[in-house]
Amino acid sequence: MQANIVVLPGDGIGVEVVTAALAVLEAIGRKFGHEFDTEEYLIGGCAIDAHGTALPDETRQACLSADAVLLGAVGGPKWDDPNAPVRPEQGLLAIRKAMGLYANLRPVKLHPDLIDASPLRPERLAGVDLLVIRELTGGLYFGEGGRWVENGEEWGKNTMIYSAGEIRRIAKLAFDAARGRRKKLASIDKANVLDVMRLWRKTVAEVAEDYPDVELENVLVDAATMHLLSRPASFDVMVAGNMFGDIITDEASMLSGSMGNLPSASLGQHLNRHGKPQGLYEPIHGSAPDIAGRGIANPIGTILSLALLLRHSLGLELEATAIENAVDQALSDGVRTADLASDGKKSVNTQQMTAAILVHI
């Protein structure tokens, strides 16, 4: 296969972890006989320095015509002035919008040897392997909102709004994902109180008719936050609207201990040349200015994001699994970056962790 991948290293450790992922991409290309053409563009703080904007036009154009996009992280203290006319994060929001990325996928899996790194008790964590799917372009964050003064009182409002079509689209994606896993889907809503969530539940039930092999569980969002702590291993795929998904994804990411390990995929409505959804793939962490430039960042979140890219945007399941297995094996070998090394155990740098993963590919 030939694929065009746009690479956006961004700022801080973004550059370091993307370099690691590109070494893995090259190894996969060699092993499986694919031609991956990568081209780097600016986004975030480095783009502000060079062009005065967080998302230069040439970056936007390149992303729109790519098969997929791999991103490191953006931001840092240099661009943190609250009065600055332009901020690095604007680049991220703008590219998500331009690419129409409506679904955010965050797999959370806990390597058994890393159980001590999580804040939960080990017996609660055995078998945790879940995928949270968040709707990204609708709901409360995109409905009508505003602030005003009336009768001497200040008011504010936001509106949670979904069309059945938007719900159907994300539900289908979630059922498809569940079908490829343990065939269980938990749909998170607040149907006991909100009209919009009654539409959510009804629409999800309609989509479920096409997936008789997938077991559907409707869970109220308040109960879901509780169950994520009391029985996290019972979940397979969870799907939620924008706001509930925002909260659930962050809660779920804590199960794994270090955010340095976790990948994400944002999938769009546009199909690429391979007939797959164009997507943007990035680790869940930020640019980590406190360790940037020292070569010690954990590259696993970005390397696993690359695996998601191969799976979802290029349909290369075998190759994606090869990367995930290599990461598992490096961790089983006891290799740890500083964020994973507990009790003063010896840690390796970014390059050494990458090399430990590459030997298993």
Ligand X SMILES: NC(=O)c1ccc[n+]([C@@H]2O[C@H](COP(=O)([O-])OP(=O)(O)OC[C@H]3O[C@@H](n4cnc5c(N)ncnc54)[C@H](O)[C@@H]3O)[C@@H](O)[C@H]2O)c1
Q: Which residues are identified as catalytic?
A: 141, 190, 222, 246, 250
Of 161 and 259, the one with the shorter C-beta distance to ligand X is: 259
Compute the least distance from the CB of residue 187 to ligand X, in Å.
26
Nearer to ligand X, 130 or 297 (CB): 297
Binds ligand X by CB under 6 A, chosen from 8, 43, 55, 73: 73
Q: Counting contacts by CB under 6 A, is residue 287 touching ligand X?
A: yes
Q: Give Cα separations from 283 to 29, 82, 164, 202, 217 (angstroms).
A: 21, 25, 30, 33, 29
Q: Show the 3-state SS of 20-86.
A: HHHHHHHHHHHHHCCEEEEEECCCCHHHHHHHCCCCCHHHHHHHHHCCEEEEEECCCHHHCCCCCCC
Q: Minimal distance in Å, beta carbon 269 to ligand X?
A: 21
Rounded CA separation 66/2 (Å)? 12
Stretch touching ligand X by CB under 6 A, among 1-9, 138-146, 172-180, 285-293? 285-293
CB of 238 to ligand X, least distance (A): 21
Answer yes or no: are the C-beta atoms of 310 and 361 closer than 8 Å: no
What is the distance between the alpha carbons of residues 260 and 300, in angstroms, rounded to a whole number?
7
Distance of CA 84 to the CA centre of its chain: 28
CB of 261 to ligand X, least distance (A): 8
- Residue 88 or 186 with smaller CB distance to ligand X: 88
Which 299-328 positions form the footprint of ligand X (CB under 6 A)? 301
Phi-psi label, residue 265: left if phi above 0, alpha if psi -120 to 50, beta otherwise: beta
Name which of 238, 240, 299 is nearest 72 in CA terms. Answer: 299
**Contact between residue 326 and residue 332 where contact means Cβ atoms under 8 Å apart:** no
Q: Could you say whether residue 91 binds ligand X (CB under 6 A)?
A: no
Task: Decide if residue 104 touches ligand X (CB under 6 A).
Answer: no
- Residues 184 and 215 sit within 8 Å (Cβ to Cβ): yes
Q: Could you say which of 60, 106, 134, 285 contacts ligand X (CB under 6 A)?
A: 285
Residues 219-278 that bind ligand X (CB under 6 A): 259-260
| Binding-site member from 57, 123, 195, 290 for ligand X (CB under 6 A) | 290
Applying CB under 6 A, which of residues 171, 174, 297, 310 lies at the interface with ligand X? 297
Only one of the segments 71-79, 108-116, 211-219, 244-252 lies at the binding site for ligand X (rule: CB under 6 A); that segment is: 71-79
Our finding on whether 291 is near ligand X (CB under 6 A) is yes
Give helix 317-332 / helix 350-358 axis angle, nearest 10°: 120
Kindly state whether residue 169 participates in binding ligand X, applying the rule CB under 6 A: no
Q: Cα–Cα distances in Å, from 122 out to 106, 110, 119, 255, 337?
A: 22, 11, 9, 10, 21
Nearer to ligand X, 208 or 341 (CB): 341
76 touching ligand X, by CB under 6 A: yes
Instruction: Check residue 9 for interaction with ligand X (CB under 6 A).
Output: no
Alpha-carbon gap, residue 48 to 7, rounded angstroms: 17
Site residues (vs ligand X, CB under 6 A): 13, 17, 73-76, 89, 92, 259-260, 282, 285-291, 297-298, 301, 339
